[in-house]
Structure 1
Amino acid sequence: MRIGGAMRTKAAAAACGALLISLAACGGSDGGTGSGSGRASDAQPSDRTGQAQARTVDLKRIPDVGDKLQKQIPANSRQVVAVYGEGKNSADSTIVLYTKSGSTWDQTRSWEGHNGKKGWTTDHQEGDKRSPVGVFTLSDAGGVLADPGAKLPYTQSAGFQAPHYWAKSHWNDFDYVIAVDYNRVKGTSPNDPTRPQGQAKGGSIWLHMDHGSGTSACVSLSKSGMEYLLRTLDPDQHPVVVMGDKADLKA
């Protein structure tokens, strides 16, 4: 059930005091200096969408995902965001949205993007600059900008604003965010600092807007890609993200 705007605003305000903790987990590479691996720091990744992209239909399972993670995708999930990391230590990713129709999956959209600046890990720790490998539900969204028509509960708050002592290319990272349900409480604003598994396991892992290079642990893609996901991911379809480097995904 969608949480009322007043309640979510109150929750966002309560979390603002701890926002810098959240941003430290999910913010710009190198603490916002703009350096790091990947593409030029001020570049926007191009969307691989539209008429030129052929739709892949009648897939029996999510491609290039092995049995270990495939079995963790809930049976009732009909929307999967797959994040294919280029390599264990790479910050470059391809993000693909799959939608289930009947008993098969369709590849509907894909985007170029980024993950943690140091790559991926199966044992994420606070500050390791690596994105966690796994299957995670997607329950809550928010950002600096007004709700673009999200189906997930959306919290708009200035508290998401990236600090302006970060490089300017990072200032819009959190205009739109979707919380990855890793070490967080579902049904709360993405910037809620609560971490059920403890601070050492990290948290505040989000899908957010890209600044052209690796993140501190999150997954990033273009503004148009984020808008599409926000308007498409539907709690009634039980969306999840399957994320990791290509080798770990296939394990």
Structure 2
Amino acid sequence: MIRHRARAALLAASLLLTGCGGGAAASSGHKATAPTDSARTATRPAGTPAPDVSVRSAPRSIPGLGPRTRAAVPAAARQVVVVTGRGRDSPLSRVVLYERTGTGWRSGPVRPAHNALRGWTDHHMGGDLRSPIGVFGLTDAGGRLPDPGTRLPYDRSDGFTAPGTGFEGEPLAGSFDYVIAIDYNREPGTSPLDWTRPLGAERGGGIWLHVDHGGPTHGCVSIAEEHMKELLRTLDPALHPVVVMGDHASLAR
């Protein structure tokens, strides 16, 4: 914590170049085969109401992900946060949490989100105002506010302060009340405030999931505060959570 707090000032001065904050001055199980509707009808006693055929088993693969993207998801991952951008150059996206079950992938609600101002890139560089495309671990969390009940390691620190305004003039205060570090160009197992950049500083960093402030980010993905707390309480390190993120066309490859 002391080392993290000592670096807080550096973080606040550098987030503009590293991606996070949207303008802050401050990154298989067994697959059972479900019976067909005709089989259900044949074995249903006379007078029994017909089943709700709108209820289907979970899809065998995560919708919207093409073969290349699916291949990048670790086999051990049983929780996958999918961030799907509206377009390559759009700051608008949606977030869905998928959890692996015995029959496939169960999806959670669709949450609206923001990504970087200029959209997405396969080769993120610090200050390019694009979010990195790829599959990344979700190993560490933190925030300015107390731990809401997550099983991820959580670093509470005043270093998670976002002063100033965003690209659309919206206040950034509270944006880092809750964050989940996206393991792009960082050292997993450390605070989101840790400044280690394995790919080099020029490749950016500080890419987080954080509280939405109502506008585009510098590189992060932001969702509403209530959804951030829900995600923090749901992610489980034992299930090896990852995030799959990019514009819809890139993820479909």
* TM-score > 0.5, shorter chain as reference: yes
Paired AA for residue 140 in structure 2:
D
Structure 2 segments unaligned to the other structure (5+ residues): 27-53
Structure 1 segments unaligned to the other structure (5+ residues): 1-8, 33-53
* Correspondence for 1:214: 216
Q: How does 1:104-143 map to 2 (within 5 A)?
A: 104-143=104-143
Q: How does 1:147-186 map to 2 (within 5 A)?
A: 147-164=147-164, 169-186=171-188
- Do the aligned partners of 1:86 and 1:245 also contact (CA within 8 Å) in 2? yes
Paired AA for residue 159 in structure 2:
G
**Identity fraction in percent:** 48
Structure 1 runs, 4 residues or longer, greater than 3 Å off: 29-32, 54-57, 164-168
Q: Residue 163 of structure 1: CA displacement?
A: 2.2
Q: How does 1:165-244 map to 2 (within 5 A)?
A: 169-244=171-246
User: In structure 2, which of residues 10, 21, 24 is the aligned counterpart of residue 27 of structure 1?
Assistant: 21
> Whose strand proportion is higher, 1 or 2?
1
* Correspondence for 1:4: none
- Do the aligned partners of 1:56 and 1:107 also contact (CA within 8 Å) in 2? no
- In the alignment, the residues of structure 2 paired with residue 90 and residue 102 of structure 1 have an alpha-carbon distance, to the nearest angstrom, of 36
- In the alignment, the residues of structure 2 paired with residue 55 and residue 150 of structure 1 have an alpha-carbon distance, to the nearest angstrom, of 31
Q: Residue 58 of structure 1: CA displacement?
A: 1.4
Q: Residue 56 of structure 1: CA displacement?
A: 7.3
- In the alignment, the residues of structure 1 paired with residue 160 and residue 25 of structure 2 have an alpha-carbon distance, to the nearest angstrom, of 16
- In the alignment, the residues of structure 1 paired with residue 25 and residue 129 of structure 2 have an alpha-carbon distance, to the nearest angstrom, of 10
- Do the aligned partners of 2:24 and 2:163 also contact (CA within 8 Å) in 1? no
CA distance change for structure 1 residues 13 and 97 in 2, over 3 Å: closer, same or farther? same
Paired AA for residue 204 in structure 2:
G
- In the alignment, the residues of structure 1 paired with residue 13 and residue 141 of structure 2 have an alpha-carbon distance, to the nearest angstrom, of 18
- Do the aligned partners of 1:22 and 1:191 also contact (CA within 8 Å) in 2? no
* Correspondence for 1:250: 252
Q: Secondary structure at the match of 2:171?
A: helix
* Correspondence for 1:35: none
- In the alignment, the residues of structure 2 paired with residue 55 and residue 173 of structure 1 have an alpha-carbon distance, to the nearest angstrom, of 37
* Correspondence for 2:35: none
- In the alignment, the residues of structure 2 paired with residue 22 and residue 233 of structure 1 have an alpha-carbon distance, to the nearest angstrom, of 28
Q: Secondary structure at the match of 1:13?
A: helix
Tell me how large the CA RMSD over aligned residues is: 1.9
Larger Rg: 2
Alignment: residue pair count: 222
* Correspondence for 2:6: 14
- Do the aligned partners of 1:126 and 1:202 also contact (CA within 8 Å) in 2? yes
Q: Residue 212 of structure 1: CA displacement?
A: 1.2
Report the TM-score when normalising by structure 1: 0.83
- Do the aligned partners of 2:80 and 2:98 also contact (CA within 8 Å) in 1? yes
Structure 1 window deviating more from structure 2 (162-171 vs 150-159): it is 162-171
Q: Residue 15 of structure 1: CA displacement?
A: 2.5
- In the alignment, the residues of structure 2 paired with residue 136 and residue 55 of structure 1 have an alpha-carbon distance, to the nearest angstrom, of 31
* Correspondence for 2:81: 81
Report the TM-score when normalising by structure 2: 0.83
Q: Residue 12 of structure 1: CA displacement?
A: 2.0
Q: Residue 110 of structure 1: CA displacement?
A: 2.0
Q: Residue 62 of structure 1: CA displacement?
A: 1.1
